[in-house]
Structure formats: C-alpha cells, structure tokens
Amino acid sequence: MATPGTPIVTTLTRVASDGAIRAGRGLSGLMGQEITIHVPSVRLGTKADACDAVGGPETLVLGAYLSLAGDITGHVMLLFPVQRALDCVDLMCGQEKGTTTEPDELAFSAVGELGNIVGSAFVNALADETNLILHPSPPSVVSDMAIALVESVYAEVLSQGGDVVMIDTVFEDSSGRTAGLLIVAPDPSCLDRLRELAA
C-alpha cells in the first residue's frame, strides 16, 4: 500500500483536489447555493480499509456506482453510512439536517445524482491528468452492507493485481457538513501511467 507523501499519492491527491473543485461547482450550480467539497485524505487501500472508512464491514451503506469505459476500464463508487447519506440528501435539497429520515425514492434519486456529479468530476480530472479517454456510466444507486459493496469492486481489481484509491470526501454548505468515501478502482494500467507521471 502506498503511503502519504509518495509520488503516486501526491499525484492522486492533486487529481482528487481538481475533481473536488469541479464537483463543487457542479453541485453549487445544481443547488443554486455554494457547496464546497474537501478531500482531507487520499490513499491506496485494502478492502478492510474501505470498510473501516464507512463504519465497518457490516455497516449499512447507501451510495452510487459508476463503471468506467474508454481507454481503460474500472469502477467508481461513492459510499455513505445511511445516516450520512440522508444528511447529504437534506444538503442537496436545501432542507434542515434531519428532515430526511429514511432512504425513500427522493433519497435514492438525490444520492444517484450526487454520485454522478462527484464520480464524473473525478473521472474527468483523472482523464486530464493521464491523457486517457474515460467515459463514466450513468450512476446506479447501491445499498447493502459495506463489505458486500466493497468486495464487488475489489474482486476484479485485486484479481488483476491492481490498487484501489480511497478518497475521503467532505461536503459542506452554510448549514453544516457531512462526509462519505469515494472509491476509485481503475484497471492497473491507469495507475501505472500515474506512477510514470509522478516519477
């Protein structure tokens, strides 16, 4: 696992920061209010690391999944413990925190749109950094125990001997903040290209 400060993590942090700026602009434009996205931590991690980041393997999580196509293939997933997902729904809908109390149809729609904006912004930033053509799919809303969703992404990547990028993602507006985990799992050739660029 790469540690903070290594060239690949430094490059990924730059990509994530660029993606966060793009996603913040997209969300702010959609909502008509200023929403800022911070990425306090970017690292390469294991399945256990990803599960721990969202509260443990048996934590119920809600999020959005996008597949990658183009010059490379891969996966992007934005995950939240359910309560944090509901907090994001309130943030996106301009509602007081605590208004949304269960993952209903509105919540699924809002989380899907959030995943679409954030995931696509990161993919576009990654494409610019690597000069790769990348196309994210429309988002699918996912809800399950963390381990089930994380394993679905990790199985393919680990079988190829690749690493998975984990990006802590904090959403903030004037009323407060909430946080999730963005998991980016490109095929190994993409990270190899980033390593070359970072060297």
Beta carbons within 10 angstroms of residue 57's beta carbon? 16
| pLDDT for position 195 | 79
Residues 109 and 116: beta-carbon distance below 8 Å: no
Local confidence band at 161 (pLDDT 50, 70, 90 cut-offs): low
| pLDDT for position 123 | 92
Query: pLDDT digits over 59-102, tens only?
Result: 999 999 999 999 888 899 999 999 889 988 888 777 888 888 88
| pLDDT for position 189 | 79
Q: Which residues contact 190 (CB under 8 A, 6 or more apart)?
A: 72, 74, 126, 130, 132
Residues 142 and 20: beta-carbon distance below 8 Å: no
Query: pLDDT digits over 115-137, tens only?
Result: 999 999 999 998 998 888 999 99
Local confidence band at 3 (pLDDT 50, 70, 90 cut-offs): low
Q: DSSP letters along 114-129, please?
A: HHHHHHHHHHHHHHHH
pLDDT greater at residue 1 or residue 76: 76
| pLDDT for position 65 | 94
| pLDDT for position 21 | 95
Domain 7-198 has CATH 3.40.1190.20: no
Based on its alpha-carbon atoms, the radius of gyration of the chain, rounded to whole angstroms, reads: 16
